[in-house]
Homo-oligomer: A and B are copies of this chain.
Amino acid sequence: VEREELERRVEALKATLQRAGVRLTPQRVAVLREVLASEGHPDAESVFRAVKKHVPEVSLDTVYRTLWMLTDLGLITTLGSRQPRVQFDANTRPHHHYVCLRCGVARDFETGELDVARLAEGLAGFGSVETLHLEVRGLCASCAGQAG
């Protein structure tokens, strides 16, 4: 991401946040600039380190708060499931998971959609392909029935 394009995205995000009624503090602007500038998939700590270079008095919890706020607004996402505990799975057949965004329940399903061989071919430049994990998230029937 080149500097000019980055600034364009920062300004766009700032506008979106203001429209959402979010106060633009220097800390928040610094955090969002760093996430947008990050090539990879930074954790809170590394965003924190990057932000501190420009706003030395920032605290780690503000970085967390800002990152989750951006996530809640759908402006960034997180890798992996957001379940706080490890979940084990004794199903040894190849399968995938449907996870409810509200109650967290996870159900197994199988699909013929994924051609492992074709995927592995496309990803050959990255490395070997050992396993595939498809997670579909949505509102489960039971949760959809309740208000919300």
Say yes or no for A80: interface residue by CB 8 A criterion.
yes
User: Which residue of B79, B100, B101 is within 8 Å of A81 (Cβ)?
Assistant: B79
Interface class of chain A by DSSP: mixed
- Docked complex Cα distance between A43 and B89 (Å): 9
Contact B115 A113 (CB under 8 A): yes
Contact A118 B113 (CB under 8 A): yes
User: Which residue of B139, B141, B142 is within 8 Å of A130 (Cβ)?
Assistant: B139
Contact A76 B88 (CB under 8 A): yes
What range describes how many residues of A lie at the interface? Answer: 35 or more
Residues of chain B contacted by A142 (CB below 8 angstroms): 127
Contact A90 B76 (CB under 8 A): yes
Residues of chain B contacted by A97 (CB below 8 angstroms): 41, 79
Among A83, A90, A134, max chain B CB count under 10 A is at A90
Known: A80-B87, A87-B43, A113-B113. A138 touches B128 (CB 8 A): yes
* 23 sample A-B contacts, Cβ–Cβ < 8 Å, listed by A number: A35-B88, A38-B90, A41-B106, A43-B87, A44-B85, A47-B88, A76-B90, A77-B89, A77-B91, A78-B88, A79-B83, A79-B106, A80-B81, A100-B127, A125-B141, A126-B140, A127-B139, A127-B141, A127-B143, A128-B139, A129-B138, A130-B137, A131-B136
